[in-house]
């Protein structure tokens, strides 16, 4: 059995996760599913205009892995655009780059994922209350492609 893939870092989950061609009823459409890390690769390379090396560093993957993720994303988007398919963004093999928290007094703060894995917060940094909870963006699901939940 091969090793499990490393989790890829993404800055955020897209706010809009479904696109469809105008004027085509949803019932008549096929869908292409873009993973969250594929969407992140498009954002870094095509929107931010970063070099592949910088994109790979931001996602904590090798340059060749980034190239494969980006190539897959571009192929899926082209297939959807040219063949009139809907695009759904969901799932994948990723972790958010930051973890957000909110205390019961309403203070919010973020912790880089690397820090979070070494030591989890014990209190709110503003008011020192011990009552706080993690915040997850809408649609956030931690899933691996191989059906294993973490």
Residue identified by tokens 């809408």 is: 138
Residue 137's pLDDT band (cuts 50, 70, 90)? low
Query: Do 90 and 129 lie in a common domain?
Result: no
Query: Do 31 and 105 lie in a common domain?
Result: no
Query: Do 56 and 107 lie in a common domain?
Result: no
Give SS3 for 88.
Answer: strand
Residue 144 lies in a domain: no
Query: Up-side HSE of residue 148: CA atoms within 13 Å toward CB?
Result: 8
Number of domains in the chain: 2
Query: Do 54 and 105 lie in a common domain?
Result: no
Per the structure, the complete domain to which residue 60 belongs is given by 8-94
Pairing mode, if any, of strands 86-89 and 132-135? Answer: unpaired
Q: 25-42, pLDDT tens digit by residue? A: 999 999 999 999 999 999
Tokens of 73: 């994303």
Q: What is the pTM (predicted TM-score) of this model?
A: 0.69
Q: 62-101, pLDDT tens digit by residue? A: 999 999 999 999 999 999 999 999 999 998 888 877 788 8
Query: Do 65 and 125 lie in a common domain?
Result: no
pLDDT of residue 104: 92
Separation of alpha carbons 72 and 128, rounded Å: 45
Tokens of 76: 């899926």
- CA–centroid distance for 49 within its chain: 18
Residue 140 lies in a domain: no
Query: Do 41 and 61 lie in a common domain?
Result: yes
């Amino acid at each position: 059995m091969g090793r499990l893939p490393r989790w890829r870092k993404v800055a955020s989950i897209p706010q809009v996760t479904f696109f469809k061609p105008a004027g085509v009823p949803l019932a008549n459409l096929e869908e292409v599913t873009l993973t969250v890390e594929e969407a992140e690769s498009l954002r870094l390379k095509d929107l931010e205009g970063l070099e592949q090396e910088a994109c790979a560093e931001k996602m904590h993957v090798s340059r060749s892995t980034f190239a494969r993720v980006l190539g897959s994303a571009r192929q899926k988007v082209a297939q959807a655009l040219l063949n009139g398919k809907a695009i759904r963004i969901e799932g994948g093999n990723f972790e958010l780059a930051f973890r957000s928290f909110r205390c019961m007094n309403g203070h919010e703060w973020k912790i880089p994922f690397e820090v979070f894995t070494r030591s989890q917060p014990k209190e709110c940094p503003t008011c020192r209350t011990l009552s706080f909870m993690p915040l997850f963006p809408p649609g956030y699901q931690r899933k691996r492609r191989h059906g294993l939940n973490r």
